[in-house]
């Protein structure tokens, strides 16, 4: 809930054109829930983003678009070990599906 509040504050301050949300959830479903929340609104209707569609772009840290933007040494140090045990294909598929859904909304 606190993360939703912080995202909303950043959205209010910087706007949709100046924000990208990066998540690091260990499973596609969890990452997708986070992406849905900042894109379409909190599907659980429990947080400040309940019914609030920010349409923010959301990526997982392991997606190529983001990984390629991070210094390779920093990425390896901070994410490399986790990436080896994650189902990255599942995460990428879930994140893209949510981005597509947000784009259509």
Please tell me the distance from the alpha carbon of residue 58 to that of residue 20, in angstroms, as a whole number.
6
> Does residue 48 contact residue 12 with C-beta atoms inside 8 Å?
no
| pLDDT at position 4 | 95
> Does residue 14 contact residue 32 with C-beta atoms inside 8 Å?
no
Q: Which helix (H) or strand (E) holds 56?
A: none
Instruction: State pTM to two decimals.
Output: 0.91
Q: Please, which pLDDT band fits residue 99 given cuts at 50, 70 and 90? A: very high
Report pLDDT digits (tens) over 39-97. 999 999 989 999 999 999 999 999 999 999 999 999 999 999 999 999 999 999 999 99
Answer left, alpha or beta for residue 51, where phi above 0 means left and psi between -120 and 50 means alpha: left
| pLDDT at position 66 | 97
| pLDDT at position 31 | 97
Please tell me the distance from the alpha carbon of residue 55 to that of residue 17, in angstroms, as a whole number.
10
Q: Please, which pLDDT band fits residue 1 given cuts at 50, 70 and 90? A: confident
């Amino acid at each position: 809930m606190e993360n939703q509040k912080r995202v909303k504050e950043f959205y209010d301050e910087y706007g949709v054109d100046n924000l990208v949300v990066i998540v690091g959830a260990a499973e596609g479903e969890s990452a997708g829930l986070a992406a849905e929340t900042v894109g379409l609104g909190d599907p659980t209707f429990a947080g400040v983003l309940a019914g609030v569609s920010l349409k923010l772009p959301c990526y997982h840290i392991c997606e190529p678009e983001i990984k390629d933007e991070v210094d390779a040494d920093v990425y390896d140090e901070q994410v490399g070990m986790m990436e080896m045990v994650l189902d990255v294909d599942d995460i990428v598929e879930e994140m893209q599906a949510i981005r597509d859904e947000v784009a259509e909304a």
